[in-house]
Amino acid sequence: NAGVTQTPKFRILKIGQSMTLQCAQDMNHNYMYWYRQDPGMGLKLIYYSVGAGITDKGEVPNGYNVSRSTTEDFPLRLELAAPSQTSVYFCASSSGNFEQYFGPGTRLTVT
């Protein structure tokens, strides 16, 4: 099993550009999550999904969108990148209420 994979690993965006962060898992987990890590702030939940076709907002959803068309994939879309979205983004998955498995992260810089 590859576990949770994320692409790209690094990206630099200009203000106003858009991009999609990819996340995939091969563990047949129903639950998937997107977090951002800001220095000294731990992990903040952006969006999550409890199954294909179902998504919901987390703590900090503004400026992001998600979709979940398959169990395996959970892409995160940034439409108009802003410097405040400079962060490290982690995707995670879990089977119901058990521990979450994290991907390797995507480091995004918006300048």
Partner 1 sequence: ILNVEQSPQSLHVQEGDSTNFTCSFPSSNFYALHWYRWETAKSPEALFVMTLNGDEKKKGRISATLNTKEGYSYLYIKGSQPEDSATYLCAFKRNAGNMLTFGGGTRLMVKP
Residue among 90, 74, 66 at smallest CA distance from 27: 74
Name which of 14 and 42 has its Cβ closer to partner 1.
42
The region of 12-20, 60-68, 78-86, 93-101 touching partner 1 under the rule CB under 8 A is 93-101
Q: Does 89 contact partner 1 by CB under 8 A? A: no
* DSSP 8-state code for residue 96: T
Segment 60-69 long-range contacts (CB within 8 Å, at least 24 positions apart): 60/36, 64/34, 66/34, 68/32
By the rule CB under 8 A, 41 interacts with partner 1: yes
CB 18, min distance to partner 1, A: 25
For residue 15, state whether it binds partner 1 (rule: CB under 8 A). no
> What mask, x for binding partner 1 by CB under 8 A, covers residues 47 to 76?
-x-x-----x-xx-----------------
Residues 6+ apart with CB under 8 A from 41: none
Which phi and psi angles does 84 have, rounded to 5°? -65, -15
In angstroms, the CA 75 to CA 77 distance is 7
Task: Provide the binding-site residues for partner 1, judged by CB under 8 A.
Answer: 31, 33, 35, 40-45, 48, 50, 56, 58-59, 90, 97-105
